[in-house]
């Protein structure tokens, strides 16, 4: 069921590149329908939004009342409330430690230079389905950063509000909540609610929508979703740990990417047998099976060099180093959204309450971007106040460069401030 690439063959790099590009390029197919929906909402606003909500979700009510929210929360199992409380506290503590510091520099001429972190004023958070953990991961950093207006877009599940998401929203203090999903939700946040930035993971259509609205509003500095995992295992790795990590990611989405990298032939043989058996236990087995058929891969490697090169090329969202001597890889692997180290660090735990953020770069974007953090919610503004002596000293050399670059107006602007009484 799962494809195999052997690094014994000379063309293994080409095969891996083809495998990765097929999934990455697959997102382009959604362009036309995504563009159509976004343009319609941009032009026709709420009328278009309601049209697509009725068509795709059979939803006629976009704004749940306080009574509806409170009634939904009352239905939530107390143990889920406690689990959300526990996760909230850990995520809050870890992200609070990311708080940024402004910079103040004063030189010998009394020129004052400052670099300040200014919170973005409004953020729209997209939370797919009944995923309170995703709301916690996105909204807590926004609140710590000082974002004044936070809007939640969360589609109904089978026509019903999501009590766990609503409980998390209430705990965080989110006041604006809308029952909407998919591309139309992204369009609404951008063109109806006019937020400054949109964050939150989603399926291939949501991800494409965020790419298209970028420029009209901001989005995360990464491609978030569909999800991915790469597991590095050896002859001493527990087979069940490998299988459960892989199927745990495959059940997310039919477009999820799950890759096993190992030298051990016996592990590969037993993995293929065991995964079919374990899939039968999943309520979402049909999604997981399709995911593994389309985007599942086993890579048989033959050297540490190949392991490092391959993982850095994949640049996975999640990487599990479930091998005995994981330390030798830590300083060599530099492309990954998060790295779970050792047998007691399952990726699934990081999705909920470890404290690190689970909104991470996918589709190879871990080569140039990072997971969600406090910096996503700040603008960095430079403040410059030059003294009379300072502009005279700096201006002399600045005018030389301006004239060299044939920007006479720049030079005149600087000279107009020099030698003034």
409 in Cβ contact with 415 (< 8 Å): no
Active-site option among 318, 320, 358, 363: 318
Q: What's the full length of the chain, in residues?
A: 421
β pairing state of 257-262 and 197-199: unpaired
For 131-169, give the DSSP string. -HHHHHHHHHHHHHHT-SEEEEE---BTTB--HHHHHHH
288 in Cβ contact with 250 (< 8 Å): yes
Selection from 397, 417, 399 nearest residue 407 by Cα: 399
Selection from 322, 371, 323 nearest residue 347 by Cα: 322
Match 């770069």 to its residue by tokens.
361
Q: Is 318 a catalytic residue?
A: yes
**What is the rounded CA–CA span in Å between residue 227 and residue 257?**
7
The three-state secondary structure class of 395 is helix
Active-site option among 220, 251, 300, 317: 317
**H helices within 260-303, ranges in order?**
265-279, 285-295
73 in Cβ contact with 163 (< 8 Å): yes
Residues forming the active site: 317-318
């Amino acid at each position: 069921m799962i494809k195999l690439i052997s690094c014994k063959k000379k063309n293994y790099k080409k095969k891996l590149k083809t495998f990765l590009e097929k999934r990455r390029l697959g997102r382009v197919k959604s362009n036309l329908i995504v563009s159509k929906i976004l343009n319609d909402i941009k032009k026709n606003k709420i009328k278009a939004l309601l049209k697509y909500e009725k068509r795709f979700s059979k939803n006629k009510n976009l704004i749940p009342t306080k009574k509806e929210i409170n009634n939904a929360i009352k239905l939530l199992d107390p143990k889920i409330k406690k689990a959300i409380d526990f996760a909230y506290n850990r995520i809050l503590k870890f992200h609070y430690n990311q708080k940024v510091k402004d910079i103040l520099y004063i030189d010998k001429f009394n020129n004052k230079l400052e670099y300040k972190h200014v919170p973005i004023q409004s953020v729209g958070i997209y939370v797919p389905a009944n995923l309170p953990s995703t709301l916690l991961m996105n909204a807590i950093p926004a609140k710590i950063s000082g974002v004044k207006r936070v809007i939640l877009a969360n589609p109904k599940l089978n026509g019903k509000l999501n009590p766990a998401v609503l409980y998390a929203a209430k705990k965080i203090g989110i006041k604006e909540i809308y029952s909407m999903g998919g591309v139309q939700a992204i369009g609404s946040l951008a063109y109806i609610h006019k937020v400054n930035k949109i964050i939150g993971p989603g399926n291939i259509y949501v991800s494409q929508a965020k790419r298209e609205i970028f420029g009209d509003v901001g989005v995360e500095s990464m491609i978030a979703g569909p999800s991915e995992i790469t597991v590095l295992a050896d002859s001493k790795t527990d087979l069940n740990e490998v299988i459960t990590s892989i199927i745990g990611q495959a059940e997310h989405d039919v477009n999820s990417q799950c890759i096993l990298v190992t030298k051990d032939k016996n592990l590969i043989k037993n993995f293929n047998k065991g995964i079919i058996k374990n899939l039968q236990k999943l309520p979402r087995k049909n999604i997981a099976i399709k995911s593994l058929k389309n985007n599942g891969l086993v890579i048989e490697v033959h050297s540490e060099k190949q392991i490092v090169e391959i993982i850095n090329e994949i640049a996975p969202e999640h990487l599990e180093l479930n091998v005995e001597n994981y330390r030798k890889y830590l300083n060599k692997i530099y492309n990954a959204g998060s790295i779970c180290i050792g047998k007691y660090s399952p990726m699934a735990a990081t999705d909920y309450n470890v404290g690190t953020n689970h909104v991470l770069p996918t589709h190879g974007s871990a080569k140039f971007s990072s997971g969600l953090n406090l910096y996503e919610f700040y603008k960095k503004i430079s403040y410059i106040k030059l003294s009379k002596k300072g502009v005279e000293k700096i201006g002399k050399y600045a005018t030389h460069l301006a004239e060299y670059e044939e920007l006479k107006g720049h030079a005149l602007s600087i000279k107009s401030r020099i030698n003034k009484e």
